[in-house]
Amino acid sequence: MTIALTDVKKIYQMGDNTVAALAGVTLHIRAGEFAAIMGPSGSGKSTLMNILGCLDRPTTGSYRLDRQEVATLNDDQLAVTRNKKIGFVFQNFNLLPRMSAVQNVALPLVYAGSDKKERQARAARALAMVGLQSRLDHRPNELSGGQRQRVAIARALVNDPSIIMADEPTGNLDTKSSNEIMDIFQDLNAQGRTVVLVTHEPDIAEFARRVIQVRDGLVVRDETRGGGPGVG
Ligand code: ADP
Ligand code: ADP
């Protein structure tokens, strides 16, 4: 599942002004990589993440995901690609407060058409993958911040995506919980999933093997540590 951006631009029209949120990004991320995107506020990180995650399309340039040109897909096709291939994790967890952990995690499966028993079983397996097998029936407000984010990770995993994308996943967590969450991302990466995360925090970026620095809509630094698989 290779990610290949070539000279991607994202232009926003603001009245008479245009803003180049991405000013020509060429970036390849190979299957199995663990990459952190860093950069100051306003540098284009969210825009880049939205394009990589098939939430949005480039204005110009090419985005090929697993050799499929996604830059030209319509909204429905984009949604199908996103739901099949990518799991999302957000800073604020985005869990539904009235639903239990297992119900939250099963939610993405409702659209996939499997029956309720099957959905619950798959959700329980995903929760076990993040160490929450004993919290299936807890609601978000009965869980710690770190546990809530683990529920969100389980939800991202339940469709078995090959890519996990996380936008500031530790932004609302203390250091201990942050490290636990990053350990989970490292495990998921070790199992062969591609992990791409946006973070402001150098300590968090340390967990990634590759650090991509963005500024003014451009990649200004791109460094991969060590050798082995996933080096791109
Ligand atoms: P970051 O995530 O690094 O803070 P963003 O990708 O959110 O950066 O924003 C990059 C630039 O694009 C900023 O100048 C921002 O104001 C602008 N921008 C982002 N989204 C929009 C939008 N929907 N409409 C207009 N301008 C936008
Ligand atoms: P921000 O980084 O500005 O705080 P979020 O991380 O909450 O915003 O969301 C980033 C983008 O992802 C937004 O464009 C939002 O519409 C979209 N988004 C939020 N939740 C989901 C979701 N569950 N599935 C798909 N897209 C989402």
Round the average pLDDT of the chain to a whole number and report it.
94
Percent of the chain scoring above 90 in pLDDT: 88
State yes or no: pLDDT of 227 exceeds 90.
no
Please, which pLDDT band fits residue 196 given cuts at 50, 70 and 90?
A: very high
Please, which pLDDT band fits residue 213 given cuts at 50, 70 and 90?
A: very high
DSSP 211: E
3-224: CATH topology is Rossmann fold (3.40.50)
- pLDDT, tens only, 216-225: 999 999 999 9
Cβ pair 118, 158 in contact under 8 A: no
Please, which pLDDT band fits residue 38 given cuts at 50, 70 and 90?
A: very high
Nearest Cα residue to 92 out of 149, 141, 28: 149
Residue 2, exposed/middle/buried by CB under 10 A (0-12, 13-18, 19+)?
middle
- pLDDT, tens only, 56-108: 999 999 999 998 999 888 999 999 899 889 999 999 999 999 999 999 999 99
- How much distance in Å is there from the Cα of 83 to the middle of ligand 2? 14
State yes or no: pLDDT of 231 exceeds 50.
no
Residue 189, ligand 1, Cβ within 6 A: no
Question: Distance (Å, rounded) from C-alpha 171 to C-alpha 113?
Answer: 34
Q: How far is CA 95 from CA 135, 167, 176, in A?
A: 15, 15, 21
In total, the chain counts a number of residues equal to 232
Residue 186, ligand 1, Cβ within 6 A: no
Lowest mean pLDDT among 2-6, 95-99, 205-209, 228-232: 228-232
- pLDDT, tens only, 141-162: 999 999 999 999 999 999 999 9
Question: Distance (Å, rounded) from C-alpha 31 to C-alpha 133?
Answer: 29
Determine the pLDDT at residue 232.
44
Cβ pair 194, 32 in contact under 8 A: yes
Determine the pLDDT at residue 137.
97
- How much distance in Å is there from the Cα of 228 to the middle of ligand 2? 33
pTM of the entire predicted model:
0.87
Ligand 1 atom, smallest distance to 46 CA: 2
In the chain, domain spans:
3-224
Binding-site residues, ligand 2, Cβ < 6 A: 46, 50, 55, 88, 90-91, 94, 167
Helix runs in 71-173, H state only: 75-85, 101-110, 116-129, 145-157
